Amino acid sequence: MKPKIWLSSPHMSGAEQTYIKEAFDTNWVAPLGPNVTGFEKDLESYLKEGRHVAALASGTSALHLSLILLGVTTGDEVICQSKTFSASANPIVYQGATPVFVDSETDTWNICPIQLEIAIKDRISKGKKPKAIIAVHLYGMPYKVDEIHSIANKYKIPVVEDSAESLGSHFKGQNCGTFGDLSILSFNGNKIITTSGGGALVTRTESQKKKAVFLATQARDNAPHYQHTHIGYNYRMSNIVAGIGRGQMTILDSHVEKRRSNHDIYYNTFKDNNKITFLLEPEGHFSNRWLSCIQLDSYETREGLRLALEKENIESRPLWKPMHLQPIFKDAPSYLNGVSEELFNRGLCLPSGSNLSKEELDRVISAIKTYFAVC
Ligand SMILES: *Cc1c(COP(=O)(O)O)cnc(C)c1O
């Protein structure tokens, strides 16, 4: 059996262990310390726009705290892009609120401005104005920032920007992770940089960050004993994990470059194959190409290709299954145009890691060519 080629695997810079060793040497083995502060500073200087960053245990915990900061509570409704990972939507339910799913458009595969406005108007007419909108830059491709935010502003609904997959992407020169009223990042093992597990909340004010850190560290009031006036969470990032993050920040831009180059190689090799289509960057959109994704001409071609790659020990995966099709969310209100379902049926993510070697890419490409030569 040939060695496994992964979709997206951790890729260390070598600098991580220096920061981790420092944490051990100084006994900062806790969910606070110089690496946590340093990693937050690194992210703040990378993102720019004067944003504040709170390093947390995961992207999911960052989403949960976003909703808490926005006052989402039992009985509320929150709009969420349907085509995404379940972690975008689950925190809505943690808060006892109801997710309202909105379908995608074809230019970026992200939340559709037309369906979004239909959804907002319809929810308002039913007596409930949505409390927040969760928009996602899927696979690193920025959503239609101007359109989505202008609709959100028109109805005065805050946007939680799920930038878990899009660190290093930008729209009209401004970094993803800075567009939301609140934004979140993820450093899970498969993301563009990883801390093994981790995430961050990006805020516009220092006081929002303070509040998030307060809630993330068990909401301890200022007293010599343990006293609580709020329900707290254990969501802070550890100083060891943040050390990995500091090492990873040194190679973020080169990871983006390599992932973009993977995508270009697939594109240049297969652009004339009439059974394969690619997602191109619309004007102003710069994708980190976290995952290289293609659409096939049918479900059958997609499944055939996926299985052919699997036989070669190459990992690939269908595009995210939309939330409105997930058993757990089948009863949630949804505003649909068929786009995300079609993408789910015909789309495939190809191996995309920044650590893919030329030999590995060649193996993937030759497996795809062989498949199309016989099918
Ligand atoms: C990975 C991911 C998350 C969750 O981040 P974790 O750090 O794994 O909790 C949320 N949203 C999207 C779109 C993701 O891809």
- The two three-digit tokens of residue 6, written as one number: 């992964």
One fold for 16-249 and 252-374: no
Pairing of strands 159-162, 317-318: unpaired
Three-class SS of 173-236: CEECCCCCCEEEEECCCCCCCCCCCCEEEEECCHHHHHHHHHHHECCCCCCCCCCCCCCCCECE
Ligand 1 in contact with 295 (CB < 6 A)?
no
CA 179 → CA 92, 130, 332, distances in Å?
20, 19, 27
Exposure of 105 in the CB half-sphere (CA atoms within 13 A): 18
Q: What is the pLDDT of residues 81-104, one digit of tens each?
A: 999 999 999 999 999 999 999 999
Sheet of strand 98-102: strand arrangement = 52-56, 199-203, 182-186, 159-162, 132-136, 77-81, 98-102, 334-335
Pairing of strands 170-171, 98-102: unpaired
Q: What is the pLDDT of residues 194-230, one digit of tens each?
A: 999 999 999 999 999 999 999 999 999 999 999 999 9
Helical (H) or strand (E) element with 55: strand 52-56
Residue among 193, 185, 176, 184 at smallest CA distance from 255: 193
Could you give the CA distance from residue 115 to residue 297 in angstroms, rounded to a whole number?
Answer: 25
Closest ligand 1 atom number to CA of residue 191: 1
Q: Whose CA is nearest to atom 6 of ligand 1?
A: 59
CA 114 to the chain's CA centroid:
22
The fold for domain 16-249 equals Aspartate Aminotransferase; domain 2 (3.40.640)
Give me ligand 1 centre to Cα 183, in Å: 12
CA 123 → CA 112, 117, 118, 144, 301, distances in Å?
16, 10, 9, 22, 39
Q: Whose CA is nearest to atom 2 of ligand 1?
A: 164
Residue among 266, 323, 326 at smallest CA distance from 291: 266
Ligand 1 in contact with 194 (CB < 6 A)?
no
Give me ligand 1 centre to Cα 84, in Å: 9
- The two three-digit tokens of residue 3, written as one number: 């060695």
Q: Are 292 and 7 in contact (CB under 8 A)?
A: no
Give me ligand 1 centre to Cα 129, in Å: 26
- Sequence-ordered list of residues with C-beta below 8 angstroms from that of 270, at least 6 positions apart, any chain: 276, 278, 294, 368
Sheet of strand 285-286: strand arrangement = 174-175, 170-171, 285-286
Residue among 350, 354, 362, 312 at smallest CA distance from 7: 350
Could you give the CA distance from residue 41 to residue 77 in angstroms, rounded to a whole number?
Answer: 34
Ligand 1 in contact with 186 (CB < 6 A)?
yes
Choice from 186, 195, 287, 291 to test ligand 1 binding pocket (greatest atom count within 8 A of CB): 186
Q: CB count, 10 Å around CB of 228?
A: 11
The CATH class for the domain spanning 252-374 reads alpha beta
Q: Tens-digit pLDDT profile for the chain (375 aa)?
A: 899 999 999 999 999 999 999 999 999 998 889 999 999 999 999 999 999 999 999 999 999 999 999 999 999 999 999 999 999 999 999 999 999 999 999 999 999 999 999 999 999 999 999 999 999 999 999 999 999 999 999 999 999 999 999 999 999 999 999 999 999 999 999 999 999 999 999 999 999 999 999 999 999 999 999 999 999 999 999 999 999 999 999 999 999 999 999 999 999 999 999 999 999 999 999 999 999 999 999 999 999 999 999 999 999 999 999 999 999 999 999 999 999 999 999 999 999 999 999 999 999 999 999 999 976
Give me ligand 1 centre to Cα 160, in Å: 13
Q: Which residues of 182-205 are buried (b: 16+ CB within 10 A; e: fewer)?
A: bbbbbbbebbbbbbebbbbbbbbe
Give me ligand 1 centre to Cα 341, in Å: 20
Three-class SS of 260-320: HHHHHHHHHHHCCCCCEEECCCCCCEECCCCCEEEEECCHHHHHHHHHHHHHCCECCEECC
Q: What is the pLDDT of residues 19-60, one digit of tens each?
A: 999 999 999 998 889 999 999 999 999 999 999 999 999 999
Ranges of beta strands (E only) in 114-166 are 132-136, 159-162
DSSP state of 28: -
| One-character DSSP codes across 128-141 | ---SEEEEE-GGG-
Give me ligand 1 centre to Cα 134, in Å: 13
Ligand 1 in contact with 8 (CB < 6 A)?
no
Give the amino acid at 124: I
Pairing of strands 77-81, 132-136: parallel
Domains of the chain by residue range = 16-249, 252-374
Give me ligand 1 centre to Cα 187, in Å: 8
